[in-house]
Amino acid sequence: MIIKISNLSDGAHYYNFEESVNDLALNEFFVGNVNAEVELSKSRSQIVLNAKLSLKAIFECDRCNSEFEENVVTQYKMVYFFGVEPKEDSSMGITYLPLDSDKINLDNDVKDFSLLAIPMKKLCYEDCKGLCVKCGKNLNEGFCNCSQIEVDNRWSALNELKNKLNN
Ligand SMILES: [Zn+2]
Ligand SMILES: [Zn+2]
């Protein structure tokens, strides 16, 4: 994802990029293509770039271990200054470009911000019931026998009590 800036006029410019996740080395969780909608605003001394990234990911659910597909959408802003980077300045979101730069390459930022957008908690859906701790059955697909046995035990205990009371 490269934007040529050598003959770019001051003002707003719009781009749309589509690139395979493999080409960006994002293939651990992501599949298909990364789409980047880019809005770039250029002035004499700086370029402000706003990017919206959309990707498709395959995650493994933290609760039930099943794979699910999710659309990951994230945004980032990058300000490019022309000139040499001051030693003490290493803030995120600012990139210094050599004065004779004729292009900016978005690949590293697109990669970094896509990775940052991976959720800490991955759930196939919010109310995922997870797996039975006893038999490992996926409880989203229905009850397992373990829970029935527990219910049965409870009933039999109650019946025993009833019998005792009756006698
Ligand atoms: Zn799940
Ligand atoms: Zn079970």
Exposed / middle / buried, residue 8 (Cβ in 10 Å: 0-12, 13-18, 19+): middle
Between the CA of 57 and the centroid of ligand 2 the distance, in Å, is 30
pLDDT digits (tens, 9 = 90+) for 14-61: 999 999 999 999 989 999 999 999 999 999 889 999 999 999 999 999
Prediction pTM value: 0.79
Q: Judge whether residue 12 has pLDDT over 80.
A: yes
* Sequence-ordered strand ranges (E) for the chain: 2-4, 11-20, 30-42, 46-60, 67-82, 94-97, 103-105
Mean pLDDT of the region 94-112: 93
Between the CA of 157 and the centroid of ligand 2 the distance, in Å, is 21
Secondary structure element (H or E) that encloses residue 113, with its range? helix 107-116
Measured from the alpha carbon of residue 60, the closest ligand is 1
Between the CA of 140 and the centroid of ligand 1 the distance, in Å, is 8
Written as one letter, the residue type at 50 is N
Q: What was the pLDDT predicted at 27?
A: 87
Measured from the alpha carbon of residue 150, the closest ligand is 2
Of the pLDDT bands very low, low, confident and very high (cuts 50, 70, 90), residue 151 is: low
Percentage above 70 pLDDT, the chain:
90
Domains of the chain, residue spans: 2-128, 129-167
Between the CA of 149 and the centroid of ligand 2 the distance, in Å, is 9
Exposed / middle / buried, residue 49 (Cβ in 10 Å: 0-12, 13-18, 19+): buried
Q: Which two tokens stand for residue 141?
A: 């697909």
Chain position carrying tokens 């298909």: 32
Higher pLDDT, 111 or 150: 111
**Ligand 2 (ion): which residues have CB within 5 A?**
132, 134-135, 137, 144, 146
Question: Three-class SS of residue 84?
Answer: coil
| Closest listed residue to residue 92, CA positions, set 78, 82, 81 | 78
